[in-house]
Structure 1
Amino acid sequence: MSGHSPPFTDLNHVLTTTRSVRLRLDYDRPVPLGVVGECLQLALQAPTGGAAEDWRWVVVSDPALKGELARLYHAAYVEYVHKPLHSAAGAESRIVKGRLGGVDEHGAVSARTARILSGAEHLAGNIGRAPYLVIPCATRPNPAKGGPGTNSAVYGSLYPAIWQFNLALRARGLGTVITTLHLHHAAAAAELLGIPDHALQITMLPIAYTQGTDFRVAPRRPVNSVTYLDRWGAPFPYDDKPVDRLTGEDFA
């Protein structure tokens, strides 16, 4: 595994240490616009349904526009995260249980979820300080107006590129987090940025260098505990390996 400074070139290292960054975004360090362009160029190598390339990316750098987007994001955070958490029902509320993993039978959040919530609150108060806010949009028909496969086609054409953008940022010492709270005010954001009615906003990504690059492999369930072979529930014969042994050499 790579232990050097970015750019990281070890694929396994990038794949296993690209984290959702909320607390460690460096809001004070400028990011050259060309670096964002380079990462987008790599993102656009992702597959897209029917080779349509029906993505559009709005990169927001203007402080006033970022401030307005941050205001919309924070308002949604207060309404849909902060208020439910601090209501009388607190973490026991249906809204919160629907949004959070790690809520136990007594309604308490796990330590891991508490860390995520701490990061979410920090992000809500600072997102407008990021050097850039990037809003990927889909121009394929709105899922609400399409047939059974439209949801998959729309989001399936955008999220591979969005994640590839995440990986390209990580390899260069930058970070981001996929956020959706501003979508509660998508119409206001569209008016602010001149996004046409036929374009569907997918997410909003704050872009910044990270404070340090020492992100670690996340604890995850073993592959064989979440994967089946041929039929649901049938065992998948694989035992997880240490990440530094994921070379593929045994199967070449």
Structure 2
Amino acid sequence: MGEENAEAAEPRTLRGARATAARRRAREDEIIRATRTLFDTVGVRDAQIEDIAQAVGINRAIIYRHFSGKEELFAVTLIGYLDEIAEVMRAADDESAPTPQRLTSVAEAFLDRGHEYPAFVDCALDLLSKSAEELFESVSEGAMIRLGRGMLGPLGALAHVLEDGNKTGEFHVDDPFMLANMLYTQSLGALQFARNQLLVSEGAPGVPAVRRVPWEAVKRHTIRAVHAMAVADDVDDRP
């Protein structure tokens, strides 16, 4: 009874504002889900605003009422991938295992998930191709904060293992989050390399040779690189 009285006493304008905000959030979620579906079916490059609007059953102009532009919509859609990747990374991390084994497990979880969803790689690389100035011009502050929180998921899962390795003396990482950011970027490059499956080498002096490289080989070398960077001493501490 008390809650009913409180609701009745609430100003009508406030109730209306809350209802409007709820409808807006629901429409934004609907647009993001449609964008994600389009990413996973036709790819990021072929995803068009017109197709997203048609999937939701709205005019494309309505999308621009919710998002500042295509770049912001794609950035917000990336958050869903990041949340899923963070979840599988945390699930793969057995804190009772030695930290080198934990590092392998979380790195494999990231790489396998990225290999499974190439649209994630395209979307993430598209954002990385832009400068900070370009991002802040095309993506609103609120969306950037949401994106940053999304990125903290996988970055934090990796940095947590690096921090624990520092405590046991098995890793020597001066700035775990700096290395986590670098490994995130490098792993995206490795995932793109795995999609191309083309390895350029020297067949004869000065003569390039191109051959196919399997996914498992790319993953194995990427994880080796991750470990090498984690166990290396900080160069600033060397004589």
TM-score range, shorter chain: under 0.3
TM-score, length-scaled by structure 1: 0.22
Whose strand proportion is higher, 1 or 2?
A: 1
TM-score, length-scaled by structure 2: 0.23
Structure with bigger RCO (C-alpha 8 Å, 6+ apart):
1
Larger-gyration structure (1/2): 2
